[in-house]
A and B are shown apart, each in its own frame.
Chain A
């Protein structure tokens, strides 16, 4: 599934806010058709990096190309081929989902089947609900639906599962995998390591504006084990989350 074509190239990217260096000379590539995860604690520079690639923020130094286009020269061309989900809302709270989809199809100048779009994220029966009436998971799912309106080559998801319950997270994972399986590259940030392990083809771990390491989750774990690392507790065949999911089921909730 993962091709070898680099769809995002980041070289020596630097972002400074006054004296503070948020992103300190990072370089990495994202390959077409993969789910790429940027991991790291709060303030590591994940969102800043993402927003520079999305052309929402100016960089202080370095180079970024998206699908062969430089963020300096072609921001508008880049915007046409990406879908962006922000960490927090970004929608008129009092409009219903159909109206919001009309708005965004207007913004991208495309015509879409709104019900199909809502169906793809399991919100078809919320078509007439206002955005502010949705639960956290529903908001995130709707947000992902808007990122897909322009049929983008890449979607960026900034902490899409933060604050969601286990069921909602799992459903979002399925949704994100489905997007990748349709050939769209996914760039995602998250705090949850289990999520990154399950979802991402490759992850980069950021800390204080630098990328500490970058590889497939498997390779990173093997790397750590090869240094002689052992977990303090015996690993059981299941964890508490498995218990929770087993008891409360998989299905999407009307939270």
Chain B
């Protein structure tokens, strides 16, 4: 035990003195967060609305809304669209009900997207009055607008999306690059061999090294979270509790990503073989796991692949925890998926791991 901690401490010191480790863990994600933090929310020209699932869609209003270029209609489950409305992803939710006297249109808006909500109500009012004018000869006022109480939401800022993604990616690169390089270096500088000549048992060498990487990664993560929160208003809904849940998530992610690092260090014959192999693992996830933008922006055929990547699960879980205040039970699906990845990766790593 003491031997393991001795390795952990030595390895940690060694890591903090390696400029590349510090750059990968802290500087990269911070730069991205800075860039996106300052870009901030760019207001959309379009009004994003959804029609709830109990609505009647076989009416003229629905068709007009659907064809209006200023209105983008989304379809999803009711719970999903109300969540989106609270986050400000949607500006309004429309419910169209057919009644004996005609159609009643109800518009729900939130206090985040006040402007767009009002804009949309304006559009609907206009449509309704036009339609009523046209329908006048037959029935009196077949369409009416009913206001819904304004829903209280919290703004989902760019930083709330970007930071977990950057944090996830930082953990991925620390895990993969850091672990792969360190074990390759230890092999090449014969540090591991020198350890073998002492009474420490082999698994403890790996555990000691792993411990130091995890501690290093978590210090980086806590730094990113703290800076994001205080400098850019990153939302951690339950404060310190959310922070701790985030940190545990980071540890879980890091352990899985380190498994990839072990695989790479097992495959790579020398130092120059590490970057291509490590990039093969990190780059696709960097692009496809919702690090910069939501994976809903990708073509339909690509999305199922995106949704299987470990970083996607981690990013999703972190966003749910930080913004929606989800606990471990709420994100069991993501955790389970990460667990499966962990089993696959470590099975592979133990097969490929080389001491010399």
Contact = CB atoms under 8 A, between A and B. Distances in A.
Interface of A: 54-56, 76, 79-80, 82, 84, 86, 88-95, 99-100, 102-109, 146, 150
A94 B18 contact: yes
Given A89-B190, A103-B9, A107-B6, 14 more contacts: A79-B199, A84-B194, A88-B190, A91-B191, A94-B17, A102-B6, A102-B10, A103-B6, A103-B10, A104-B198, A105-B6, A106-B7, A107-B199, A109-B2
Most chain A C-beta atoms within 10 Å of own C-beta, residue among B9, B13, B196, B198: B198
Given A79-B199, A107-B200, A91 B18 contact: no
Grouping DSSP codes into helix (H, G, I), strand (E, B) and loop, the B interface class, with mixed when no group exceeds half, is helix
B190 A86 contact: yes
Contacts of A106: 2-3, 5-7, 9
A107 B13 contact: no
15 contacts: A79-B197, A80-B199, A84-B197, A86-B197, A88-B189, A89-B191, A90-B194, A94-B17, A95-B10, A95-B14, A102-B6, A106-B2, A107-B195, A146-B194, A150-B198
Contacts, number: 81
Most chain A C-beta atoms within 10 Å of own C-beta, residue among B5, B17, B194, B196: B194
A114 to B, nearest CB: 13
Given A106-B5, A107-B3, A107-B6, A90 B189 contact: yes
Contacts of A105: 6
Among all A-B residue pairs, the 10 with the closest Cβ atoms: A106-B6, A90-B194, A84-B197, A103-B10, A94-B17, A90-B190, A107-B198, A92-B14, A79-B199, A107-B3
B193 A86 contact: yes
A92 B10 contact: yes
Interface of B: 2-3, 5-7, 9-11, 13-14, 17-18, 189-191, 193-201
A66 to B, nearest CB: 13
B7 A103 contact: yes
A207 B22 CA distance: 49
A89 B196 CA distance: 14
Contact of A76 (B6, B11, B199): B199
A194 B13 CA distance: 41
A129 to B, nearest CB: 13
Given A103-B10, A106-B3, A107-B3, A92 B191 contact: yes
B11 A92 contact: yes
Contacts of A146: 194
